[in-house]
Structure 1
Amino acid sequence: MMYRTAATRSVLRAISNSNASVARSTLVNNVFKAPLTSSARFPAARLTTSPSLALAAARKPVTTALVRYASTGSKGADEDVDMMAGIKTEAKVIKNTFSLAEVPKEALYLGMAGVIPYVATSLQTIYLAYETNLAASGDGLIFSGQSAELLLHMIEPVQVAYGAVILSFLGAIHWGLEWAGYGGKYGYKRYAAGVIAPAVAWPTLLLPVEYALISQFLAFTFLYYNDARAAAAGRAPHWYGIYRFVLTFIVGASIVASLIGREQIATKVSEHTITDKINALLFLKKKEKEEADARRKAEAGEESE
């Protein structure tokens, strides 16, 4: 009888414990599933929520916000890192694009030395323009106004003539590439590129200085475009395009600097246009003819006496 009573008590205790655990699990499920379900489908979920569970549910949005903030902050940091990596990559691409490492040293050194006359004459033009403007209101820093103007007129043919020589030299390079058969034989197509350069360059010697510099600037730009296409098509070394770009940029900047300097003294320096030169030549020829006629008349008069 005693054993039977103990067994009965054990069975009742197990049943009560199982019912309690089932009730607790049901209550927890209702609490945590409540935000995911509508109040119409589970109206009893709100009624069975205890104050402690309601407090836990109220804390849940705070935890979610913290997690969201942490994830957003880490995402912003990743974006900053990606942006810096992108900038570094672009800087590296630019550096590699304008790199002259593959250019032969002899060509690089001689090419850089070849732009020195352009840079020197441009700097002298700017300085002499400054001296001319300074002398207009008094005395110049080193030269007088007349001396600065005279030196400026001496520099003009040097810069223009040197530009014509360099343009002709750039055209002759294509003849050498054709003779060497670099990239194949192109015949008159490549020879024409060498002929156009001097055909455009030398007539600039007859133009006024401003027009001559502008014409040479356009000629240098066109030749660079042609040389870059030749390098891309395999008709010239692959490094020739960037090499020509660097040299053309320096020459073009020098020409622009000279034009800006001359613009500052456009009203203070006498200019001689091509019309003035032709008129002066005709006047000189007419004067020489008159002097020759007068000399013949004088000789004829002496003989008659």
Structure 2
Amino acid sequence: MNLLSSTLPPRHVALLGYGGLLPFIALALLLPFSLEYRPLWSVALVTYGAVILSFVGALHWGFAMTVQDLSAEQRRDRFIWSVIPALVAWAATLLPVFWGCLLLIVGFVVHYWQDRQLFRVISLPDWYLPMRLRLTSVASLCLLLGAVVMATHS
């Protein structure tokens, strides 16, 4: 089976990717119903979001190091871009939770846009962008829920 032509990710990739959404979902659902621990859950949500945004940024570092058909300029741009999500994520952890959640949403959406730009230049598996869209959407919705809960219950 050719991984570049399959629209379904390999099983282990799907389990790891979608399994990575579980903390987003659990924390977002705990926030509205756990008044006593809401400060902890909200910080945990932003912190987890920051870790994951940093991780997806690092994917572009890996692409810059390994993809053969990138021009020198494209390679440089991938290296530069790869550290920006980590900087955005770090800034999000320094902000109040409401603003941290919103900044992370922007980071995830912009990173997905960067993935789409990269997809036009290099060969990535057919499942990569659809999976990234689903992961970005769910993570962003959970962060949005966190921002709304913090805005309405603070």
Do the structures match in fold with TM over 0.5? Answer: yes
Amino acid aligned to 2:117: R
Q: Equivalent of 2:13, from 97, 107, 112?
A: 107
CA drift at 1:209: 0.5
* Equivalent of residue 41 in structure 2, options 152, 155, 160: 155
Q: CA–CA distance in 1 between the matches of 2:91 and 2:152?
A: 26
For structure 1, the residue ranges without an aligned partner over 5 or more in a row are 1-99, 129-147, 267-305
Q: Partner amino acid for 2:120? A: A
Residue aligned with 1:184, SS: coil
Confirm or deny: 8 A CA contact 2:92 2:100 kept in the other structure.
yes
Unaligned runs of 5+ in 2: 1-5
Distance in 1 (CA, whole Å) between partners of 2:120 and 2:8 is 15
Asked if residue 184 in structure 1 is aligned to residue 70 in structure 2, the reply is yes
Deviation of the 1:216 alpha carbon: 0.4
2:22 to 83, 94, 116: 116
Match of 2:125 among 213, 225, 237: 237
Give the TM-score normalised by the residue count of structure 2: 0.86
Residue in 2 that maps onto 1:14: none
Deviations 1:134-164 (A, max 9, x none): xxxxxxxxxxxxxx23x11111221111111
The answer to whether residue 134 in structure 2 is matched with residue 228 in structure 1 is no
Given that 1:112 and 1:247 are in contact with CA atoms closer than 8 Å, whether structure 2 keeps it comes out as: yes
Q: CA-atom RMSD, angstroms? A: 1.8
Contact 2:101 2:143 in 1 (8 A): yes
Deviations, residues 244-297 of structure 1 (Å, cap 9, x unaligned): 10101111111122222223313xxxxxxxxxxxxxxxxxxxxxxxxxxxxxxx
Report the Cα distance in structure 2 between the residues aligned to 1:236 and 1:196, rounded to whole angstroms: 21
Q: 1:175 aligns with which of 49, 61, 64?
A: 61
Report the Cα distance in structure 2 between the residues aligned to 1:121 and 1:241, rounded to whole angstroms: 25
Relative to structure 1, the CA distance from residue 205 to residue 110 in structure 2 (aligned partners, 3 Å threshold; closer, same or farther) is same
User: Could you tell me how far apart the structure 1 residues matched to 2:89 and 2:68 are?
Assistant: 26
For residues 229 and 201 of structure 1, the distance between their equivalents in structure 2, rounded to whole angstroms, comes to: 21
Contact conserved, 1:227 with 1:240, CA < 8 A, in 2? no
Shift of 1:181: 1.9
* Correspondence 1:164 to 2:59: no
What's the counterpart of residue 201 of structure 1? 89
Distance 1:215 1:163, change over 3 A: same
Whether the 8 Å contact between 1:183 and 1:235 is mirrored in structure 2 is no
Q: 1:212 to 1:110 in 2, by over 3 A?
A: same
**Separation in 2 of the partners of 1:250 and 1:224?**
13
Equivalent residue, structure 2, for 1:97: none
Distance 1:177 1:157, change over 3 A: same
Contact 1:183 1:236 in 2 (8 A): no
Whether the 8 Å contact between 1:168 and 1:201 is mirrored in structure 2 is: yes
User: TM (normalized to structure 1)?
Assistant: 0.45
Give the Cα–Cα distance (whole angstroms) in 2 for the partners of residues 182 and 206 of structure 1: 37
Residue number in structure 2 paired with 1:281: none
